[in-house]
Structures are given as structure tokens and as C-alpha cells.
Amino acid sequence: MLNKISEILNEISAYSTQKHDELESFRLKYLSKKGIISELFEDFRNIPPLEKREIGQKLNILKEKALEKYNSLKSDLPETAPISDSSDLSKPSFPFPTGSRHPISIVRKEIIEIFNRIGFVVSEGPEIEDDNHVFTKLNFAPEHPARDMQDTFYVSRISAEDSSPEDILLRTHTSSVQVRVMEGQKPPIRTISPGRVFRNEAISARAHCIFHQVEGLYIDTNVSFADLKQTLLYFAREMFGKDTEIRLRPSYFPFTEPSAEMDVSCRICGGKGCNVCKYTGWLEILGCGMVHPNVLEACNIDSKEYTGFAFGMGIERLTMLKYRVNDLRLYFENDLRFLEQFRTSF
Ligand code: PHE
């Protein structure tokens, strides 16, 4: 027994480690309830009484030395968090990364704030709509190609051949919200409707079947095309910088007459021509026009007393121009490497 004790004593005094797991093995081997030293105390019971005194003293010294060793090695260990069952090793460590806003949300908020400043209020409406609000009341002729299955996702149709105002579909533009506003409110009306829209298009870098719009509507007495132009010039300069120029090109929409498309001077080359503006110096950003009298009448607004203008833009497109994103699909893929690039203070 004495030999064994001195052997273990040597082992312990020679022992050294700087690793948490090795020190834990040391504790288990010598100091735990089932460890070597406990075992020796067990055996001590069978020692003849005459030897008990000496062996007892040596055993106590051994236990003390082992504890001392353990404590001194432990205090010298490098700092690391203790590993316990309650630790989640997959948890991100401090400082915890915060999320960032989606670029579409950032630009949507910016557009809304610009129009808020000149008195436009936000209105929202359903994404699942009827033909009446998306097409019929907006002066789309029954055979208009935009109602076609190729563009519109139908939820249910009354007849397979002809479209009917009761058909249920996913809205293809947020002009439908403006119809609802006109139905429920008397002029003056000054509203913008941001929201998600759906068109049955093949997904590519330049097209997607889901995208976001902000459409605007202003109806009052004596609203003129000059008011439309000035409002859009204000918007373009707030959005893209005070040197921005706009131009309006004649266009066609069933719900506006006259209609136009608006270009802004290319902010990348300053109008000199580059591959983003296809060397024209201009970028198309929205459609607009004076609200067609048929639309006003369909919504019970007297077209002799009131006139109005409307406009509509795609948020994805504006975001592409603002941040020079070259593939629409990036907005929908939730790739953190893309999303993390859009840090904002709000
Ligand atoms: N609703 C049109 C679209 O989705 C945009 C637009 C709105 C055009 C208002 C003119 C006036 O493309």
C-alpha cells in the first residue's frame, strides 16, 4: 500500500496539462468518487490496525496533493467558456449580427415618403381581385389582350371563352386599389397604392411573375397634365437627385387619355450614354396619363366636374436603377450575401 501511494504521488506531482478536457480526465482518474484515491480509502478499511496510523497519514497527504495539483492546474488553464449540456454550439457568438431591410422595402418606403410630403396618402387593397376592379372599370375592352390567360393568373372564371366582371384573379396592377378608392370616396382624392402584383411571365433576369408597384391617383377640379408633369418632376428629383431631368413620351393605356411613359436622365452616365441606358442617356421608369372619363364615370365621379391624373411604377425596376442590381431573381432568393449589402438606419 505504501509503495502504491508513493507511486501515485510521483505520478501526480509530475503531471501537467493546459487543456480543459485533460484536466477533467485527471479529476475523474484521481479525485472522483470512483477514482483511484477513493478506491485506496476503501482498501484502507482492511489494513491491520498497527499500520493504520502511518498509511492513514500518507493517504490524507496524497488526497491533499492531488487536490492542490488539480486546483493549481485549473487556475492556470487558458480562458474558455465551460462546455456544458446547456450550451448551444451552433449559436452565433457576440456581437450578434442584426438583420437588414430588403432593398424592395427600402425603396418602397422612400417612394411613399416622397409622395407623403406632397399630400398623397397610402391606400391598400386585396391581392385577389375581381375582373371588374382590375380591368372592366378601368376601361379595358372585353377582348383586351391584358386579360388573356398569358398575362393573368385566374383563380376562377365564369366562362372559359369570355372574360366576365365576376372572374376572380390575382391583380396584375395596383390600379385596382384606386378603383376601390374612387368608388368609396368623393374628390379631392390624392392617394398612392403600393403593393404586390402578379403576371403570368416566365422568370428571367428581367421579368418575374411577382413584383411590386406604387401607383398614384390625383382627382380634383381643374387637374391638368401640367400638374402631372410637375408632380413627377418633383418625384424624380427627390428620388434620383436634383439635377435629374425627365421626358414624357406618348404611350397608350386603356385607363388614361392622353397617356405617356416617363424617362429620367441616366444617373449612371449623367445622360452621356452608357450600357445601362443603352447609350440613349434615358431610363424608362413609369407609365402615366390623365384618367380616362370612362373610368371616372364607372366609379360614379362626374367627369364634367372633375379631372385627374394617374401614374404607376415598378419598385423592382427603380431598385435596379438605384442599386444597379442586374438580375430580378436576386430579390426573391433570400441569399444573405445579397441582402446584407443593404444596411439602413431605419
Ligand atoms: N397600371 C399600369 C401598369 O401596371 C401603370 C399605369 C398606371 C399607367 C397609371 C398609367 C397610369 O403598367
d(CA 53, CA 74): 32
SS3 140: coil
The C-alpha angle 29, 27, 33, rounded to 5 degrees, equals: 70
Which protein residue has the closest C-alpha to ligand 1 atom 10? 288
d(CA 200, CA 150): 6
Count, residues in the chain: 346
Q: Report pLDDT digits (tens) over 154-164.
A: 999 998 888 89
Q: Which atom of ligand 1 is nearest to the CA of 287?
A: 8
| Contact (Cβ atoms closer than 8 angstroms) between residue 65 and residue 101 | no
Amino acid found at 239: M
In this prediction, residue 335 has a pLDDT band, given cuts at 50, 70 and 90, of very high
Higher pLDDT, 143 or 79: 143
SS3 80: coil
Q: Which of 152, 217, 218, 255 to mutate to test the pocket of ligand 1 (most atoms within 8 A of CB)?
A: 255
Lowest mean pLDDT, pick from 1-5, 63-67, 258-262, 308-312: 1-5
d(CA 164, CA 134): 11
In this prediction, residue 109 has a pLDDT band, given cuts at 50, 70 and 90, of very high
Sheet strands side by side (includes 307-314):
121-122, 189-198, 210-220, 307-314, 282-291, 256-265, 246-253
The strand pair at 121-122 and 189-198 is best described as parallel
pLDDT value of residue 85: 66
Q: Give the rounded distance of the alpha carbon of 165 from its chain centre.
A: 35
- C-alpha cell of 58? 500518507
d(CA 182, CA 187): 8
d(CA 20, CA 304): 87
d(CA 35, CA 29): 5
The C-alpha angle 98, 103, 105, rounded to 5 degrees, equals: 90
Higher pLDDT, 118 or 49: 118
pLDDT value of residue 84: 65
d(CA 128, CA 171): 6
d(CA 137, CA 175): 10
Cα–ligand 1 centroid distance for 311 (angstroms): 6
Cα–ligand 1 centroid distance for 132 (angstroms): 16
Cα–ligand 1 centroid distance for 74 (angstroms): 73
- Angstrom CA distances, 204 to 89, 198, 249, 330, 338, stand at 40, 15, 27, 11, 18
* Residue 324 clears pLDDT 90, i.e. is over it: no
- Angstrom CA distances, 179 to 124, 130, 228, 280, 299, stand at 11, 12, 19, 36, 7
DSSP 28: I
* Residue 168 clears pLDDT 80, i.e. is over it: yes
Which protein residue has the closest C-alpha to ligand 1 atom 6? 312
- Angstrom CA distances, 223 to 93, 117, 270, stand at 58, 19, 32
Task: Find the helix or strand (DSSP H, E) in which 238 lies.
Answer: helix 225-240
Which protein residue has the closest C-alpha to ligand 1 atom 2? 312
Q: Which of 144, 152, 173 to mutate to test the pocket of ligand 1 (most atoms within 8 A of CB)?
A: 173
Ligand 1 interacting residues, C-beta cut-off 6 A: 173, 175, 215, 253, 256, 287-289, 310-312
d(CA 10, CA 134): 90
In this prediction, residue 114 has a pLDDT band, given cuts at 50, 70 and 90, of very high
Q: Give the rounded distance of the alpha carbon of 316 from its chain centre.
A: 13
DSSP 153: -
